[in-house]
């Protein structure tokens, strides 16, 4: 990994913006379309059945669950200056996964992201990393400031969950966009709050979301991997 000093955490340098937009595009080959993060079971169980229940579910995940946890991990991976630091963060990220499918999801997307990002000429020497850790480390290596990287990552995560729900509930595309618009203040709030969070602040209170991920492992009919 690189140990160059990261740029200031304000705006994205003009030369870095195309990379960030490309990496967070739904078309970037990390396989995010294949994962529902437990939403498939939540829809089957009736927990998520319309726009209102979807917005409530995702807001909880962002504020109190994996959304917040991943952003803290991403920020600290971005700040890591040594291999040992990054490896410790990677171990914590893996330990924070509540079940096998969540581990498959984050490690699978992380490996795919690292592989695809090699097109830009930087290869991480570490082994398979969780997606948020890989994203933070590679964003730093390419001079993308921490704050835009974190905000963009959380927004893309939210959009992917909504995209899965649009197909599962089902919801219309416009209804999905309304949910995304309604969640913008939450995305901004979580991005802001995690800027000063330490690794010791990682924790989750989204038990129903964790249970959904566990139950999905044995769900009879499945469209998504998680």
Each residue of 141-174: pLDDT tens digit?
Answer: 999 999 999 999 999 999 999 999 999 999 999 9
Each residue of 196-217: pLDDT tens digit?
Answer: 999 999 999 999 999 999 999 9
Domains detected in the chain? 30-216 (1.10.4190.10)
Residues 123-140 have a mean pLDDT of 87
Task: Write the secondary structure of 14-80 as one string of H (helix), E (strand) and C (coil).
Answer: CCCHHHHHHHCCCCCCCCHHHCCCCHHHHHHHCCCCCHHHHHHHHHHHHHHCHHHHHHHHHHHHHHC
DSSP-derived 3-state class of residue 8? coil
- The rounded distance, in Å, linking the Cα atoms of 64 and 26 is 25
């Amino acid at each position: 990994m690189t140990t160059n000093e990261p740029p200031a955490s304000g705006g994205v340098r003009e030369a870095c913006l195309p990379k960030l937009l490309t990496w967070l595009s739904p078309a970037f080959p990390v396989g995010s379309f294949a994962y529902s993060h437990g939403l498939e079971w939540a829809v089957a169980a009736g927990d998520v059945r319309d726009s209102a229940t979807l917005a409530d579910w995702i807001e909880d995940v962002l504020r109190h669950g994996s959304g917040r946890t991943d952003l803290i991990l991403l920020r600290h991976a971005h700040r890591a200056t040594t291999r040992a630091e990054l490896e410790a963060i990677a171990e914590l990220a893996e330990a924070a996964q509540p079940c096998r499918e969540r581990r498959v999801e984050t490690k699978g997307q992380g490996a795919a992201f690292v592989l695809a990002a090699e097109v830009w000429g930087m290869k991480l020497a570490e082994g398979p990393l969780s997606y948020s850790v890989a994203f933070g480390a590679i964003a730093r290596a390419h001079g993308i400031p921490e704050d835009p990287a974190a905000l963009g990552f959380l927004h893309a995560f939210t959009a992917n969950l909504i995209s899965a729900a649009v197909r599962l509930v089902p919801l219309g595309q416009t209804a999905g966009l309304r949910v995304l618009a309604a969640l913008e203040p939450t995305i901004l709030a979580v991005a802001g709050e995690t800027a000063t969070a330490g690794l010791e602040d990682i924790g989750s209170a989204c038990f129903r979301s964790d249970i959904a991920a566990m139950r999905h492992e044995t769900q009879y009919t499945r469209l998504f991997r998680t």
